[in-house]
A and B are shown apart, each in its own frame.
Chain A
């Protein structure tokens, strides 16, 4: 199926199988492996990317359904993402780092939509991204710090 999508600002017209997930398209088709797949069934948040500014699970998103969409991944970069990356580093908000791209994309979506989230809002939003190393303390602190600077 032919789809036209914008990925990290670049325009792509692609012929994709109906069943292909957005995660597979990004990782295997477009050599953007920063988006990770850890469960493959929408339970862990590792594959979180932004589709039309919404944080979605790329493993359960059909590439064919993204026709006309604006997709952003960890490789995309933005001023806010830079600040989140620095805050994640400064707060030791990861250990192995496998969930980190997904965590960052969730945090990015949150702060774009809600520049001054409450603590509860941060906890609620970021709870969809599992971290088995247990870096949650740093993650919450990093998001809160960037939110404070926003204000």
Chain B
């Protein structure tokens, strides 16, 4: 596939914002962006490498965690303090992709990756999410797809997002700060993006305000290692409060209502099995965070 864009490693925030505002696409590890560009998804003139902005810190301070946008997933997974206080995130990070993808991939890149769907990523099809008219998945083979009804049934794959959502993380951009859930949006007829980032805006860090009393991540893939999750559920308990988040079931990482975790996720006939799987994973995750 032809690559026709230029590349720039930006050294300051102003330049990053300028290029991204002009239609550039942000590169962290490149593992999702380059495969998209090679398949003709979201063409751009400039690939903007954000790794030169010094955003790669992983800092635990006063029980609070800051994950820099370009911190490597592998470094999150093996960070001693993260493992000690925010073990859920170490688990989530450790279950992402393969070792090499974890070494390359970055925190923000993982959070902002595009959904998984074999039609969306099909080089010869232009589906609804890519700006076309048809959700091929819903009229075709959607055995692995999402449970939430809508114009698109692709699924959010970020294991890290599940963990961060369960922990009540905030995400900061060069312009604002917000709960992580607000980084995501369901794509709509007039805007097919799954992110709320404005032109020129990019994630700078994710922060977790406090450790959970207990947490767990459970997921099922298509083989024993190196697989996107068919579904994954992160759970965290803060005193009596349970927070549950799931990936692999909807366009965006999704907070689940502990009282009715499958609400709004009816699925289709071909994905009925996934409701059952999700239900099991929720039970397993909840059981794992029960008070001793």
Choose from B34, B35, B99, B225 the contact partner of A55 (Cβ within 8 Å): B99
Provide the residues of chain B in CB contact with A57, threshold 8 Å. Answer: 31, 100-101, 104
Total number of A-B contacts with CB less than 8 angstroms? Answer: 79
Residue A33 is within 8 A (CB to CB) of chain B in the complex: no
CB distance from A28 to the nearest CB of B (A): 15
Q: Are B5 and A42 in contact (CB under 8 A)?
A: no
Choose from B4, B9, B31 the contact partner of A60 (Cβ within 8 Å): B31
Provide the residues of chain A in CB contact with B5, threshold 8 Å. Answer: 18-19
B: interface residue count bin: 20 to 34
Residue A125 is within 8 A (CB to CB) of chain B in the complex: yes
CB distance from A32 to the nearest CB of B (A): 18
Interface stretch, picked from A61-69, A77-85, A91-99, A143-151, is A61-69
Interface residues of B in 47-99 (CB under 8 A from A): 47, 49, 51, 72, 74, 94, 97-99
Identify whether the interface residues of A are mostly helix, strand, loop, or mixed: mixed
Provide the residues of chain B in CB contact with A19, threshold 8 Å. Answer: 3-5, 7
Q: In the complex, A109→B98 CA distance in Å?
A: 14
Q: Are B6 and A61 in contact (CB under 8 A)?
A: no
CB distance from A117 to the nearest CB of B (A): 11
Residue B103 is within 8 A (CB to CB) of chain A in the complex: yes
| Residues of chain A whose beta carbon lies under 8 Å from any beta carbon of chain B | 1, 18-19, 40-42, 45, 48, 54-57, 60-62, 64-65, 67, 106, 109-110, 123-129
